Amino acid sequence: MKKTKSKRKSWPKPKDMMGLAPAEYDLACNILGREPSLTEHGIFSVMWSEHCSYKSSKKWLKTLPTKAKWVICGPGENAGVIDIGEGDACIFKIESHNHPSYIEPYQGAATGVGGILRDVFTMGARPIANLNALRFGAPSHPKTRRLVSGVVAGIGGYGNCVGVPTVAGETNFHASYNGNCLVNAMTVGIARKNKIFYSAAAGAGNPVVYVGAKTGRDGIHGATMASAEFDDNSEEKRPTVQVGDPFVEKLLIEACLELMATDAIVAIQDMGAAGLTSSSVEMAGKGGLGIDLDLDNVPARETGMSSYEMMLSESQERMLIILKPKRIEVAQRIFAKYELDCATIGHLTKTGRLVVRKNGNVDADMPIAPMVQASPEYSRPWKPAKKRKPVDARKLPVREPGAALEKLMGCPDLASRRWIWEQYDHLVRGHTLQRPGGDAAVVGIPGRKKALAMCVDSTPRYVEADPETGGAQAVVETWRNLTAVGATPMAITDNMNFGNPERPAIMGQFVGAIKGMRKACKALNYPVVSGNVSLYNETNGQAILPTPTIGGVGLLKDATKSVDLALKADGDAIVLIGATAGWLGASLFLREVEGREEGAPPPISLGTEKRNGDFVRGLIAKGQVNACHDISDGGMLVALAEMALAGRMGARLELPRTDSAYLFGEDQARYIVTTANAKRLLAGAKTLRIPATVIGTVSRDGKLALAGCAPISLDKLRQAHEGWLPGYMSSKK
Amino acid sequence: MKSAIVVFPGSNRENDAADAIERASGKRPAMVWHKDSELPEGLDLIVLPGGFSYGDYLRCGAMAARSPIMREVIARADKGTAVVGVCNGFQILCETGLLPGVLLSNSGLKFICRDVHLKVANSQTMFTHRYSAGQVVRFPVAHHDGNYFADPDTLKRLEDGDQIAFRYCTPDGETTTEGNPNGSIGNIAGVFNATKSVLGLMPHPENATDPATVGSLGGSLDGKPMFDAIVDALSK
């Protein structure tokens, strides 16, 4: 932002500043040429909040690759859009609802789902799947159980009712999230390529129409709250959390999609963070127009609301539409069918100003372009993270593989999430081709041979250890997970969850992660098409692990050509693709079995990732493999155990080494596949110089047999793996 | 076979049901919006789909049961038109009184979505004649309030009249607590009316009809014989 010299001697008291810095308040006065009214002050505050303005992150977000020939719309709209062939488009985005979920887990998480659904259907898409990435504090922390229970129930309560299947996700536990859980929700939708709706208003005089639920006093200043740190009194912020109504959302989806099938809409945007303020300012701003709002016509849930309250309310399930003037009746008829409000609350003007009227008074009259353009952009100082040394695996004690594996399979970060996904309707719509529990979900598209694969991933412990490597790894892991089901990775959406950016070390994590993501996206031709930033995730100065959550979407041209991770046929050869040095730094094994959180994370070679992944995807497309699983948390033996449990089949393994580093190292760019024809597979790998080794065969025994070690019972592994989460949730302490 | 699916505000499995019927009959059912006061003429089958009609507010199915279109559905059912209610549709049928009993919250007090095993209790009806008696089939459930309850007299009437359609069971066909996902009395998953022309069930046969959805992580085709049976019986 431009520095302005202030002649002012005093500002409103800090508590009355609504989160604006003194310099920002001054700038607001300069733009208006006077002191702002209460309503105007509130509007500046939310528009320039971190949440809406991306003031700390903008500079770096701009460096991410956002283009590819299949990208129809990159970041800047409500969601990203990619071309998936046959005239179809896929629209998707991820968004955080961290602070509200910590304060009020059920409603916070529920409205997170509602908000991201609206971002996607506002562009004309029928939502076909939801995903989520959750991070909670240590299981031993007194709040964790209640948060897990409330967040999962909230996501289910909303998603199940709107009838969009929740098909995939990830959940981690770490003490750094004790005072600040993360709830990142993603929605994937499909639309016709030539029927995508954007938010830029056009046509002075066109009516501004409000549809959906009524406005109440909930969520006022939610965006400002989301841009501040927490302390012990954060519970007092509960009134800033919104309350969701999935039933109204379901009706709103159907009504909007029905209206979108007509030619009535000029532009449309959901009222998300900062409600009526951000939707009206953004729509008019993008169209270079002004907007006159008459708040007396806003459908209200309660009487006596002021313009300040109405402009800042974050009541849910509302949309703002610019209609063609002669089509108002079409909209009224459709919204009446669904018994939803539909009210003309203003019109577009040529003035370039936002004018807010209520009870005959003008409560705000402010120029839109200067407010949007002057939206601050900070170049925050940042400090690169200190490099960590690799862990010398030779100095670790020798461990019995079976015992270590059982411990890992039942540890909080690897234990089965069945308890969670069974609370989500993951089957509604009838097109869930691969259910939760695999590398990526696969969702079919009605009337088409193709399907979409989707997943969310991040490995925060890597990002903390080395932000750049960790940022790249998060992108790469989604790419690998999509590859492992046979899909061609297309694009990502990113949810950057970090601590306070005003601290150079935190800003350093953010900058490093972006650099790593940028490299990975470029090397894999896997652009960012949408995203969201959530900063100030700290409580009493304790920041979360840096968590860039990546949501990936891939395309399967022929849904029948997909594979899953389950071992299938007795006698199939088990082949390890990719090289294993035995990298234990920042690994789960080191943390869970050795009790050490240290060391450099596994290095990423993007060239190798691409080569190995393309090879595996080719094998799947040619029908040469029966099962495929990428190797990530917990390393090779964990991946194999997951494949065995999913298929209820055992394996006889002949491994070149059985040391912990080999079995549990988290070297990247690796997959396990099974095949009936190992010779053909190995020959193909050799031609392309891709490391591929037969490490055993699939068996009907209920165990994993390692030459030279005690056999590992699958029943015991299953008990550890399936038992932890339900056991934890039903225990009292 | 001429069929129609009644769509309430909040229904969300109407297309799943339509897909399953189309797979079995080759014909897409008519979709009837709840505000329409009339059903199409000459219907052979009426389906009340799954979902959250009226948001499940008040009580699951209670408001839908009192909507204008339901008067019409009851009138047709009384004349012998076949009616199937799945999940929320079952709840609505119980609320209207077309079927006995009620559906309480699951005993675990949580929403459950997973495949369950069911034992076919009566295979002599238009809905189930493609199954054999005692056959174990697998359908998914997806509900929060699927805990079937009826008083002892009603239960006895159901038993005596062969009105129980399916019971929850283990993969081996044991109708035990272990095989009961939601606490339903007598492991009851679905019931008929006295004349076996109305069926209500909590599990989703319509989500067990598409080969593309069957994989190692779940899915089944066991719902297909139910739709084939209905088409069989009603196309004659």
Q: What are the structural domains of chain B?
A: 3-234 (3.40.50.880)
Long-range residue pairs from B62-67, CB within 8 A, at least 24 positions apart, any chain:
B62/B95, B64/B8, B64/B34, B64/B88, B64/B92, B64/B95, B65/B92, B65/B95, B65/B96, B67/B8, B67/B34, B67/B35
Identify whether A51 is a catalytic site residue.
Answer: yes
DSSP A220-243: TTHHHHTTS-B-TTGGGGGGGS--
pLDDT tier at B198, thresholds 50, 70, 90: very high
Q: How far is CA A649 from its chain centroid?
A: 34
pLDDT given for residue A3 in this prediction: 46
pLDDT given for residue A60 in this prediction: 96
Model pLDDT for residues A441-463, shown as the tens digit of each residue:
999 999 999 999 999 999 999 99
Q: In Å, how far is B156's CA from the nearest CA of chain A?
A: 33
Say if residues B90 and B165 touch (Cβ distance below 8 Å): no
- Is the predicted pLDDT of residue A238 greater than 80, yes or no? no
Q: In Å, how far is A114's CA from the nearest CA of chain B?
A: 14
Q: Which residues pair with B104 in a beta bridge?
A: B147
A564/B50 CB distance under 8 A = no
pLDDT given for residue B231 in this prediction: 97
- Is the predicted pLDDT of residue A593 greater than 70, yes or no? yes
A647 closest CB neighbour out of B52, B216, B218? B216
Q: Does B216 touch chain A (CB under 8 A)?
A: yes
Rounded alpha-carbon distances, angstroms, from residue A694 to A480, A665, A710: 20, 18, 21
Q: Which of B5, B139, B207, B217 to probe by mutation at the A interface, max A CB count within 10 Å?
A: B217
Task: Give me the catalytic one of A41, A51, A426, A721.
Answer: A51
Model pLDDT for residues A337-391, shown as the tens digit of each residue:
999 999 999 999 999 999 999 999 999 999 999 998 887 788 999 999 999 999 9
> Residue B212 carries which DSSP code?
G
Q: How far is CA A469 from its chain centroid?
A: 19
* Chain B nearest-CA residue for A627: B216
B217/A156 CB distance under 8 A = no
A464 CB neighbour count, 10 Å cutoff = 22
Model pLDDT for residues A246-259, shown as the tens digit of each residue:
999 999 999 999 99
B210/A646 CB distance under 8 A = no
DSSP B170-207: -TT---SGGG-SS--GGGEEEEE-TTS-EEEESS-GGG
DSSP A104-143: SHHHHHHHHHHHHHHHHHTTTPEEEEEEEEEEE--TTSTT
- Is the predicted pLDDT of residue A48 greater than 60, yes or no? yes
- Is the predicted pLDDT of residue A15 greater than 80, yes or no? no
Structure tokens at A436: 């939760």
Q: How far is CA B54 from its chain centroid?
A: 19
Say if residues A467 and A519 touch (Cβ distance below 8 Å): no
Q: Does B227 touch chain A (CB under 8 A)?
A: no
Residue with tokens 């993360």: A182
B50/A245 CB distance under 8 A = no
Structure tokens at B141: 């459930």
A-contacting residues in B 176-195 (Cβ below 8 Å): none
* Chain A hits for B10, Cβ within 8 Å: 161, 247, 250-251
Rounded alpha-carbon distances, angstroms, from residue B161 to A489, B165, B202: 56, 11, 20
Distance CA A721, CA A663 (A): 18
pLDDT given for residue A283 in this prediction: 95
Coil/strand/helix, residue A359: coil
Structure tokens at A371: 């407010």
Model pLDDT for residues A518-533, shown as the tens digit of each residue:
999 999 999 999 999 9
Say if residues A463 and A494 touch (Cβ distance below 8 Å): no
* Chain A hits for B52, Cβ within 8 Å: 160-161, 163, 246-247, 250
Mean pLDDT of A237-265: 90
- Is the predicted pLDDT of residue A588 greater than 80, yes or no? yes
Model pLDDT for residues B112-142, shown as the tens digit of each residue:
999 999 999 999 999 999 999 999 999 999 9
pLDDT tier at A2, thresholds 50, 70, 90: very low
DSSP A394-416: GGSPP--HHHHHHHHHTSTTTS-
Percent of chain A with pLDDT over 70: 96
A437/B217 CB distance under 8 A = yes
pLDDT given for residue A235 in this prediction: 60
Who contacts A517 (Cβ-Cβ below 8 Å, separation ≥6)? A64, A471, A472, A474, A475, A494, A528, A548, A550
B56/A428 CB distance under 8 A = no
B55/A245 CB distance under 8 A = yes
Rounded alpha-carbon distances, angstroms, from residue A56 to A20, A286, A374, A496, A499: 14, 22, 14, 12, 12
* Chain B hits for A338, Cβ within 8 Å: 9
- Is the predicted pLDDT of residue A80 greater than 70, yes or no? yes
Distance CA A608, CA A523 (A): 10
Which stretches of chain A sit within 8 Å of chain B by CB? Answer: 153, 156-157, 160-163, 245-248, 250-251, 337-339, 421-438, 444, 446, 559-560, 564-566, 568, 627, 646-647
pLDDT tier at A1, thresholds 50, 70, 90: very low
Distance CA B99, CA B200 (A): 7
* Chain A nearest-CA residue for B12: A163
pLDDT given for residue A222 in this prediction: 66
pLDDT tier at A34, thresholds 50, 70, 90: very high
pLDDT given for residue A707 in this prediction: 85
Percent of chain A with pLDDT over 90: 88
* Chain A nearest-CA residue for B142: A425
pLDDT tier at A7, thresholds 50, 70, 90: low
Who contacts B75 (Cβ-Cβ below 8 Å, separation ≥6)? none
Mean pLDDT of A647-661: 95
- Is the predicted pLDDT of residue A10 greater than 90, yes or no? no
B112/A422 CB distance under 8 A = yes
* A-to-B residue pairs, Cβ atoms closer than 8 angstroms: 110
Distance CA A155, CA A131 (A): 10
pLDDT tier at A733, thresholds 50, 70, 90: low
pLDDT given for residue A21 in this prediction: 87
A250 closest CB neighbour out of B12, B111, B215? B12
Model pLDDT for residues A176-227, shown as the tens digit of each residue:
999 999 999 999 999 999 999 999 999 999 999 999 999 998 877 666 666 6
Model pLDDT for residues B67-123, shown as the tens digit of each residue:
999 999 999 999 999 999 999 999 999 999 999 999 999 999 999 999 999 999 999
Rounded alpha-carbon distances, angstroms, from residue B28 to A190, A280, B73: 22, 42, 19
* Chain B hits for A559, Cβ within 8 Å: 212
Distance CA A252, CA A242 (A): 17
The residues of B annotated with a catalytic role in the active site are 87, 204, 206
A433/B213 CB distance under 8 A = yes
Model pLDDT for residues A535-559, shown as the tens digit of each residue:
999 988 899 999 999 999 999 999 9
Structure tokens at A213: 């639920």
Q: In Å, how far is A270's CA from the nearest CA of chain B?
A: 20
Mean pLDDT of B136-152: 98
- Is the predicted pLDDT of residue A233 greater than 70, yes or no? no
The phi and psi torsions of A444 (rounded to 5 degrees) equal -75, 160
> Which helix (H) or strand (E) segment is B216 a member of?
none
Structure tokens at A476: 């790469």
A247/B57 CB distance under 8 A = yes
pLDDT given for residue A224 in this prediction: 65
A575 vs A242 pLDDT, higher one? A575
pLDDT tier at A234, thresholds 50, 70, 90: low
pLDDT given for residue A431 in this prediction: 98
Backbone conformation region of residue A221, classed left if phi is above 0, alpha if psi is from -120 to 50, else beta:
left
B16 closest CB neighbour out of A246, A430, A436? A430
Q: Share the mean pLDDT of chain A.
A: 94
pLDDT given for residue A5 in this prediction: 55
* Chain B hits for A427, Cβ within 8 Å: 113, 140, 142, 204, 207, 213
pLDDT given for residue B36 in this prediction: 84
* Chain A hits for B54, Cβ within 8 Å: 247
Mean pLDDT of B1-16: 97
pLDDT tier at A230, thresholds 50, 70, 90: low
pLDDT given for residue A232 in this prediction: 67
* Chain B hits for A438, Cβ within 8 Å: 217
A230-239, A332-341, B25-34 — which is least confidently predicted? A230-239
* Chain A nearest-CA residue for B207: A430
Q: Does B34 touch chain A (CB under 8 A)?
A: no
Mean pLDDT of A36-46: 92
- Is the predicted pLDDT of residue B208 greater than 60, yes or no? yes
3-state secondary structure B74-127: HHHHHCCCEEEEECHHHHHHHHHCCCCCEEECCCCCCCEEEEEEEEECCCCCCC
- Is the predicted pLDDT of residue A14 greater than 80, yes or no? no
Q: In Å, how far is A724's CA from the nearest CA of chain B?
A: 18
Mean pLDDT of B217-227: 96
A333 CB neighbour count, 10 Å cutoff = 13
Q: In Å, how far is B158's CA from the nearest CA of chain A?
A: 30
